[in-house]
Homo-oligomer: A and B are copies of this chain.
Amino acid sequence: MKEMKRLIVDMDDVLTDATGKLIDLYEKEFGVRITRESMNHKEEREKFPDNHEAVYRFVFQKGFFKTMAVNEHSQEVMKELNKKYEVFVVSSAMEFPNSLSEKLEWLNEHFPFLHWKQFVFCGKKSVVHGDYMIDDLPHNLETFNGEKLLYSAPHNLQYNQFKRVNGWKEVESFLLK
């Protein structure tokens, strides 16, 4: 059998709608609904207009990682990718201790066709290697040895040095067709 190519897939803002979760919590806490459009071209930790420290603290709240929505089409496309690639979900989780078990539960709930052997929770992604990496954060792609795919998010629209995928249907077109 031909050896499968290895595909590294990020979680937050790639499989999950982390930004949407932050928008909800920001509205609940400060009474203002921030639009995704207003975040365009801003760096990840500056995408809200203010209260940056409070937003950073949201991520440490119990339940934050467990209750995120699944990004559209990610399940169906990942299911097909999983047949043709050696898929690993690699997530920067170590900064947020509560995220570890919640991320594992989330993956088991929403991506039951993946095996726990395919999950990696790390601090710095430079330690993993593969043929393709899909990530929304340029610094994760920068240290990767294989082909880099920037998954579009409001906070990365200012970056032009990577091939860009706008949503899971574009991932499907690029990697499965």
Chain A residues with a Cβ under 8 A of chain B = 6, 8, 88, 90, 93-95, 97-98, 100-101, 104-105, 115-124, 127-130, 145
Contact = CB atoms under 8 A, between A and B. Distances in A.
Name the prevailing secondary structure of the A interface residues: mixed
Given A100-B101, A104-B94, A123 B128 contact: no
Given A94-B104, A101-B101, A122 B123 contact: no
B128 A127 contact: yes
Contacts of A119: 94, 122-123
A109 B97 CA distance: 14
A120 B117 contact: no
A122 B124 contact: no
